[in-house]
Structure 1
Amino acid sequence: MTVLITGSRGQVGSAVRDRLQSGGHALRAASSRPDGPEVVELVLSKPETFAPALRGVSQVFLYAEPDGVREFVRTAEAEGVEHVVLMSSSAVLAPDAESHPLARTHLLVERALEESGLTVTVLRPGAFAGNALAWSHAIGRGQPVQLAYPDAHVAAVHGDDLADLAYAALTGHWLAGGTYTLSGGESLTFREQLGIIGGLLGREVVVETITRAEAEEQLAAYLPPAAVTALLDLWADSTAGPAPIDDTTMTLLGTPPRTFEQWARENLTAFAAQSALR
């Protein structure tokens, strides 16, 4: 069994790769910018890279990228791939997923795989704990964190939990072939997450509430307008109450889900440029 890992430099992809290596499984890492003989080129907008990357592969860990995905799926079938574990998103469950800028990408990939003859495991996480790294610049410099919706609730999932689930699916666990909406094990507001980070740093992290228009202007530097609107709408809706707790490593693997505090401890140096760690 050889497993192809796409997005092998990403947080979850690299963690899946590490688990497979530790377990003695044959694997092949893929990247749009291969940096060594053990990494093959795979670019979904370049179909000529598909067959060399997939040759001899029985399973694929795949990130949701719609460009070229139907040709990728056809090539995977032709090369004898049997099983794909897809990193999708719970955004596909939105009623407007067809046009939703945060959902459409994942939905197109899910559909391409559904229409194939491959066994497919779909992991649909919601918010990632790692999204908190967006605050590291301000926190590290002792500046307020500016948020339009500081009391939006999220049940953020730790990237290592996703890696554990993907690894289980790739190595014969019963969850292979299913579709799972995933979350962390606790609902916290952004304000509460920042309080946890501040507590670990030993100082207050100031939260400054800004207007939606101000938030739109800030996010426009990184995201297209439709994505900015969708993200702010999501956060606005999430102020209504605790985020739902979906499937976790506890319900699927019998192991406690990692907490946001654990993630924050593991990544504290990202926030601590001007702070003494406890």
Structure 2
Amino acid sequence: MTTLVTGARGAVATELIALLRRRGLPVRPASRQPVDSSIATCDLSDPATFPAALAGVTSVFLYAEPSHIDAFVKEATAAGVEHIVLLSSSSVLAPDAQASPLAKSHLDVERAVTAAPVRGTLLRPGTFAGNALAWSWPVKAGNPVSLPFPNSSNDPIHEADIAEAAAAVLTDPALAGRPYWLTGPESITFAEQIAILSHVTGTDIAIKNVTREEWKAEMADYIPEAFADSLLDWWQSNDGVPAEITTDLERLIGRPGRTFATWAADHVGDFTG
């Protein structure tokens, strides 16, 4: 009953692999660029890597890469895969999801998975708490964090909680075959997250209020313009509006999710090293 875990070097996959192994379950970590022979090659943008990665696999933890999703699903079905757990995004729930580049990429993968003759489970997390790592560079350099909408609210979820949710649906058939909207336990603004990081690191972290265009210019080397506009639109829509918090995560893992303060304490080294 081997589980293929794609994106093995990612934060969620790393936690999931460790969880499954602690439970004595066979796991095949896979990555586009394996660092050693313990990780299989599975480049979701290269269908030639699919057959070997899927051979003998019964379940898959899948990252949402749309470029060859139909080929992946077809190969998984032929290989005898019984269950695909997709790491999607709650952005697919927005009314304009089809028009948003960020949401559409996840939506396209969801549609391929749910149309397949294989059981599909959709995990739709909101904001990853790990997105705050983008602030680590200015924080370590002693510079202010640029924010276009400091009072925009989000629902940060710890990567370890997403991994626990994935482990739950992979190991309990009664939980499989449906979508889950996963949020952290609290609605919190970017400014409040910065304040928590200031407290945890013992550093006075300033906020620099910037315009949309200024932020896009700062991020131009890292985020394509269409995706940057989608993010900015989303943050603007949540400016001063509390994020909706769901109970799906607690239902899956049996406890409330970890707070952003817990995530910050777990990652303090990323902001002070």
TM-score band by shorter chain is: over 0.9
Q: Distance in 2 between matches of 1:197 and 1:96?
A: 33
Aligned residue pairs: how many? 273
User: What is the aligned partner in structure 1 of residue 255 from structure 2?
Assistant: 255
Q: Supply the AA of the counterpart residue of 2:115.
A: E
User: What is the aligned partner in structure 2 of residue 81 from structure 1?
Assistant: 81
SS in 1 for 2:177: coil
User: What is the aligned partner in structure 1 of residue 127 from structure 2?
Assistant: 127
Unpaired runs of at least 5, structure 1 = 274-278
4+ residue runs of structure 1 moved beyond 4 angstroms? none
Q: Distance in 1 between matches of 2:182 and 2:129?
A: 13
Map residues 133-144 of structure 1 onto 2, 5 A cutoff: 133-144=133-144
Q: Distance in 2 between matches of 1:247 and 1:13?
A: 22
Map residues 87-102 of structure 1 onto 2, 5 A cutoff: 87-102=87-102
Judged with a 3 Å threshold, the aligned counterparts in structure 2 of structure 1 residues 213 and 46 are, in CA distance, closer, same or farther, namely: closer
Alignment pair present for 1:149 and 2:149 = yes
User: What is the aligned partner in structure 2 of residue 218 from structure 1?
Assistant: 218
User: What is the aligned partner in structure 2 of residue 35 from structure 1?
Assistant: 35
Q: Supply the AA of the counterpart residue of 2:264.
A: A
Unpaired runs of at least 5, structure 2 = none
How far does residue 72 in structure 1 lie from its aligned partner after superposition? 0.9
SS in 2 for 1:102: helix
Q: Supply the AA of the counterpart residue of 1:253.
A: I
How far does residue 37 in structure 1 lie from its aligned partner after superposition? 2.6
How far does residue 246 in structure 1 lie from its aligned partner after superposition? 1.8
How far does residue 248 in structure 1 lie from its aligned partner after superposition? 4.4
The structure with the greater share of residues assigned to helix is 2
TM-score (norm 1): 0.95
Q: Contact conserved, 1:155 with 1:184, CA < 8 A, in 2?
A: yes
Q: Distance in 2 between matches of 1:116 and 1:32?
A: 23
SS in 2 for 1:203: coil
Q: Contact conserved, 2:3 with 2:59, CA < 8 A, in 1?
A: yes
Q: Distance in 2 between matches of 1:146 and 1:234?
A: 17
User: What is the aligned partner in structure 2 of residue 113 from structure 1?
Assistant: 113
User: What is the aligned partner in structure 1 of residue 227 from structure 2?
Assistant: 227
Map residues 144-223 of structure 1 onto 2, 5 A cutoff: 144-172=144-172, 174-223=174-223
What percentage of residue pairs aligned between the two structures are identical?
Answer: 44
